Amino acid sequence: MQYGLNEEQEMIVSTVRSFVEKEIYPHEELVERTGEVPHEIAQDIKNKTLNLGFYACNFPESVGCAGLSHLDFALVERELGRGSMALNHFFGRPQNILMACEGDQKERYLMPAVRGERMDALAMTEPGAGSDIRGMKCAAVRNGGDWVVNGTKHFISGADHADFFIVFIATGEDDTPKGPKKRITAFLVDRGTPGFTIRDGYKSVSHRGYKNMILDFDDCRLPDAQVLGQVDGGFEVMNTWLYATRITVATMSVGRARRVFDYALSYAAEREQFGQPIGKFQGVSFQLADMITEIDGADLLTLAAADLLDKGLPSNREIASAKLYASEMLGRVTDAAIQIHGGMGLMDDFPLERFWRDARVERIWDGTSEIQRHIISRELLRALGA
């Protein structure tokens, strides 16, 4: 990997950063206070993103999009990470898994999604099946040529604004030497489908305004036309397209950490105690040194993982390492920033307490830190036949 951005990449960074500062920052306090993103603000962000040509920039030119590489898209996500997740959701990055659409699905789901006409949401997690995907109980059975679905999904981000959902559902079970093993299929489910309801989820201290919802299926009938990929091929679809979500968490953690660091650095240079800026004291200056070192390390680790993807090289361990290190780094950096600010760091006058709360969830969603460590250690041991 070339460590340093070319002219086009520098333009991507400056364009997205400017957009976040001008179009996202001004609305953050409102969203934080109300827990809502007003429709007119959401639509304005979406329209401006479309005008910039960045909407669905994670999709290829073959479907009319920017076709950014994994590395270039990581730079976009890094800058978006500086802003409120509830607001930058409308910058528009549909799930790459929609590239698995076939036939009529392309005009019903893929193309409207990349044009900004319809929004999608991914539904995988259940009350009893988070990291253990094969433990899901939401199931579909054949009946009269359709699939009849029953069960519940929860922690579904973006479901309040979604027009359709990519839902992973158990469609059978195999007996294996290690016990029963669920077969999983991905389905496309439209809002308003009979038997499918969306209700409010849980109130979270992290990312206010970026709501999680609960999806209920009660004898919901879905025809074969709603299957995304192959029947019982959910894991293949998942493994082909969903790797990028962990890079997204890593890159956005880096972006948020840089914003937090900027607050801490400025405060350390301006705030005086005992007749000098507090940044002159080693207790503060050494914290700043550790913070920027960790941020840069997470940044390079993440961009290197994205670069491996672009080159078609094995990257599962590297992506897991990036997600693990960047998300945990963000927790340490936000905590240190509050320590530097002292009591003021926990006051509403500064956004640091928000970043501190928001940072906590990054170690949980899209695969907990423990799952990432499992992936990393498994890859290392497999190479030795263990």
pLDDT, one tens digit per residue, over 287-296 is 999 999 999 9
Backbone angles phi, psi at 272, to 5 degrees: -110, 140
Which of 228, 251, 275 terminates a domain? The answer is: 228
Other CB atoms within 10 Å distance of the CB of residue 132: 11
- Residue 239 pLDDT class (50, 70, 90 cuts): confident
297: CATH: 1.20.140.10
Tens of pLDDT, residue by residue over 208-236, are 999 999 999 999 999 999 999 999 998 88
Within a domain: residue 109?
no
In a shared domain, residues 207 and 310 = no
Distances (CA, A) of 311 to 12, 302, 304, 306, 315: 20, 15, 11, 9, 10
What letter would DSSP give residue 20?
A: I
Other CB atoms within 10 Å distance of the CB of residue 361: 18
Within a domain: residue 134?
yes
Q: Which of 243-247, 248-252, 280-284, 382-386 has the lowest mean pLDDT?
A: 243-247
Tens of pLDDT, residue by residue over 128-141, are 887 778 789 999 99
312-317 mean pLDDT? 91
In a shared domain, residues 276 and 375 = yes
In a shared domain, residues 266 and 284 = yes
Euclidean distance between CA atoms 289 and 336, whole angstroms: 11
Encoded amino acid at 41, one letter: I
Within a domain: residue 110?
no
Rounded to two decimals, the pTM is: 0.93
| CA dihedral for 124, 126, 37, 329, sign (positive or negative) | negative
81: CATH: 1.10.540.10
Strand partners, 15: none
Euclidean distance between CA atoms 77 and 88, whole angstroms: 10
**Is 268 within 8 Å of 285 (Cβ atoms)?**
yes
Q: Which of 81-85, 87-91, 231-235, 358-362 has the lowest mean pLDDT?
A: 231-235
281-306 mean pLDDT? 96
In a shared domain, residues 243 and 379 = yes
Within a domain: residue 163?
yes
Tens of pLDDT, residue by residue over 334-357, are 999 999 999 999 998 889 999 999
pLDDT for 19: 97
In a shared domain, residues 269 and 373 = yes
Euclidean distance between CA atoms 233 and 242, whole angstroms: 14
Within a domain: residue 245?
yes
Euclidean distance between CA atoms 353 and 73, whole angstroms: 28
Structural domain that includes position 55? 7-101
- Residue 2 pLDDT class (50, 70, 90 cuts): low
In a shared domain, residues 136 and 76 = no
Within a domain: residue 2?
no
159: CATH: 2.40.110.10
In a shared domain, residues 355 and 294 = yes
Within a domain: residue 113?
no
Which of 101, 135, 157 terminates a domain? The answer is: 101
DSSP 3-state assignment of 381?
helix
80-99 mean pLDDT? 96
In a shared domain, residues 307 and 346 = yes
- Residue 3 pLDDT class (50, 70, 90 cuts): low
**Is 159 within 8 Å of 120 (Cβ atoms)?**
no
In a shared domain, residues 304 and 195 = no
User: Residue written as tokens 């499992």?
Assistant: 374
**Is 87 within 8 Å of 43 (Cβ atoms)?**
no
In a shared domain, residues 240 and 308 = yes
pLDDT for 243: 73
Distances (CA, A) of 234 to 90, 155, 170: 27, 19, 9
Full DSSP string of 35-63:
S---HHHHHHHHHHHHHHT-TTTTS-GGG
Average pLDDT taken over every residue of the chain: 94
Which of 67, 101, 135 terminates a domain? The answer is: 101
Strand partners, 196: 217
Within a domain: residue 114?
no
Other CB atoms within 10 Å distance of the CB of residue 108: 17
Domain count, the chain: 3
pLDDT for 374: 95
In a shared domain, residues 26 and 61 = yes
In a shared domain, residues 47 and 67 = yes
166-186 mean pLDDT? 89
Euclidean distance between CA atoms 299 and 326, whole angstroms: 8
Other CB atoms within 10 Å distance of the CB of residue 175: 8
**Is 292 within 8 Å of 261 (Cβ atoms)?**
yes
Longest pairwise C-alpha distance within the chain: 81
pLDDT for 245: 86
